[in-house]
């Protein structure tokens, strides 16, 4: 099976992103930074915040769901706030999207906030709310259940170092996983964690038997050329020892975001 994790960057590299998602043929796709705007007047809208303007693909979730008819799509929003078509404000939801091949049965799932709570009438105060989504799946072809959890981690102006809020986020993620995962089964945890490789988060997740494939396999970069700041770590993918890793990469090409896609082939 193939599991893909990617911060989609609001779909800003839209055409290459859509082509890659169609061609990579992953069984489970975990995406962060995805918009869903049912009443969008156009394909592109603008996010505005404190002098920053960023283009957003207005209905990226629905576009990917249409692109992948053999997958079930799940959307987990963190907030509902305004995107702009010129000066017109259009209500939009923003959060996580997970796509699961229909040949896999979803036998349990949970989504919840790991920092803050849902904001229904704006993007919320900084540092903004974050959530996670966890699914327990059954693979009928090989006859086993496994769990995949994804998270978009807290972003703080001070950087990616450990903080009490990030410690609390880790504990909230572990609690969420515990609602779904059976400890004698395979577990994959992935996402844009917004932490450094030496974060306390990894020692806490190691207590679940998880090993990070980015740092343990010598990957020094999870960013693409679209990202021009220093500090090249953001995205991670962790597995339990009962997962046979056939292949894993922080994919350098094609560039479909300012984050690299993390692609695991496993059994």
DSSP 167-194: HHHHHHHHHHHHHH--TTSEEEEEEE--
The candidate with the shortest Cα–Cα distance to 67, out of 14, 9, 13, is: 14
Chain centroid to Cα 251, Å, comes to 15
Q: How far apart are CA 148 and CA 137, in angstroms?
A: 8
pLDDT in tens, 245-254: 999 999 999 9
Q: Per DSSP, which regions of 9-141 are E strands? A: 28-36, 44-49, 52-57, 71-85, 88-101, 104-115, 130-139
Q: How far apart are the first and last CA of the chain?
A: 6
CATH of 2-266, one of 3.50.50.60, 3.20.20.370, 3.60.10.10, 3.40.50.11540: 3.60.10.10
And the tokens for 120?
């229904």
Task: Report the predicted TM-score, pTM, of the whole model to 2 decimal places.
Answer: 0.98
- Give the DSSP H or E segment for 147: strand 144-152
Domain boundaries, the chain: 2-266
pLDDT in tens, 50-104: 889 999 999 999 999 999 999 999 999 999 999 999 999 999 999 999 999 999 9
Q: What pLDDT, on the 0 to 100 scale, is given for residue 51?
A: 84
pLDDT in tens, 118-158: 999 999 989 999 999 999 999 999 999 999 999 999 999 88
Q: Rounded mean pLDDT of 176-202?
A: 98
Q: Is the peptide bond before 254 cis (omega within 30 degrees of 0)?
A: yes
């Amino acid at each position: 099976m193939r599991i893909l994790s990617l911060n989609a960057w609001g779909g800003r590299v839209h055409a290459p992103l859509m082509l890659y998602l169609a061609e990579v043929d992953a069984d489970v796709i975990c995406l962060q930074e995805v918009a869903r705007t049912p009443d969008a007047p156009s394909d592109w809208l603008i996010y505005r915040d404190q002098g920053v303007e960023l283009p957003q693909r207005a209905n990226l979730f629905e576009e990917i769901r249409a692109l992948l008819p053999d997958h079930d799509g799940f959307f987990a929003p963190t907030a509902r706030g305004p995107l702009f078509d010129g000066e017109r404000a259009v209500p939009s939801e923003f959060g996580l999207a997970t796509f699961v091949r229909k040949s896999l049965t979803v036998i349990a799932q949970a989504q919840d906030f790991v920092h803050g709570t849902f904001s229904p009438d704006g993007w919320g105060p900084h540092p903004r709310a974050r959530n996670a989504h966890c699914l327990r799946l059954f693979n009928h072809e090989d006859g086993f259940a496994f769990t995949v959890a994804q998270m978009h981690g807290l972003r703080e102006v001070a950087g990616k170092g450990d903080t009490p809020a990030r410690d609390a986020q880790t504990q909230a993620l572990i609690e969420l996983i515990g609602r779904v995962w059976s400890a004698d089964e395979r577990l994959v945890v992935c996402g844009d964690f917004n932490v450094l490789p030496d974060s306390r988060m990894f020692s806490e997740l190691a207590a679940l038997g998880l090993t990070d494939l980015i740092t343990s396999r010598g990957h020094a970069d999870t960013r693409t050329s679209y990202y021009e700041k220093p500090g090249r770590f953001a995205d991670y993918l962790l597995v339990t020892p009962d997962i046979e890793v056939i292949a894993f990469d922080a994919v350098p090409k094609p560039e479909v975001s300012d984050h690299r896609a993390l692609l695991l082939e496993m059994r």
